[in-house]
Amino acid sequence: MFSKNQTNNFDENIVEKLKAGLYVFKVVSLQNNEYQQNTTEMIVSMVSTYKDYERKLCSHSYTPLLYLVDIRKRIAYLYGCLNRFPNTKRVETFKVFWREVGKDEWNEWFVIEPYEDEII
């Protein structure tokens, strides 16, 4: 689901700055267009604050597992980045970006790649 370098290099400080209201995030979907041989970027979630994320989490029907996983998996679930059906891999790659409030430059935070469902 997350690329290996994303798993090892995930920056927890970004979460703290999101909570403090210093950073915001957005989620984009990257879809490969085979016919035009390019990638189309579609915004899944416009600029979101930590409060937006909290509201989305709290308004969702209670699923205990959501509170046991890290924020990356919660965002992936809440913003529709996971597989939709059993054993049906998504074709899109999703990227989550953060930026400082008041700034224009977006920085890549983590990537959610297509994955195979696995029962372990």
pLDDT tens, N- to C-terminus, the chain (120 residues): 776 555 455 788 999 999 999 999 999 999 876 665 666 777 787 889 999 999 999 998 888 888 999 999 999 999 999 999 998 999 889 999 999 999 999 999 999 999 999 887
Q: In 10 A of CB 102, how many CB atoms?
A: 7
Tokens matching residue 30: 């990257």
pTM reported for the whole predicted model: 0.83
Residues in Cβ contact with 78 at an 8 Å cutoff, skipping those fewer than 6 apart? 53, 56, 57, 60, 66
